[in-house]
């Protein structure tokens, strides 16, 4: 299980910083949803993603947040918003 802090994900920069740290993404990670999709598609293990304080995450940039959830879904990752 990977727990992401929604308070840190209220904007795109914060979101990608949190993702890079908690998902242990490589240094060359491009800080965008396409790059995230590429990195996640290379993983063989699918983990549960928990986004704590999800309200702040969703309010920060709703369309981009929904895009992130779509990338997780496209890569067969379960997401729990809390």
Distance CA 58, CA 26 (A): 25
Whole-model pTM: value is 0.91
Q: Quick check: helix, strand or coil at residue 39?
A: helix
Please state the rounded mean pLDDT for residues 27-38: 96
Alpha-carbon 44 to chain mean position:
17
pLDDT at 53: 93
Domains defined along the chain, listed by start: 2-81 (3.30.370.10)
pLDDT digits (tens, 9 = 90+) for 41-71: 998 888 899 999 998 888 877 889 999 999 9
| Confidence category of residue 14, pLDDT binned at 50, 70, 90 | very high
% of residues, the chain, pLDDT over 90: 82
DSSP state of 77: -
With CA atoms as reference, report the closest residue to 19 among 6, 41, 44: 6
């Amino acid at each position: 299980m990977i727990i992401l802090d929604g308070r840190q994900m209220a904007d795109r920069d914060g979101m990608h910083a949190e993702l890079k740290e908690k998902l242990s993404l490589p240094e060359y990670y491009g800080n965008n949803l396409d790059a995230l999709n590429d990195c996640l598609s290379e993983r063989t293990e699918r983990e549960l993603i928990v986004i704590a304080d999800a309200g702040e995450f969703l309010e920060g940039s709703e369309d981009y947040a929904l895009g992130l959830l779509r990338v997780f879904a496209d890569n067969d990752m379960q997401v729990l918003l809390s």
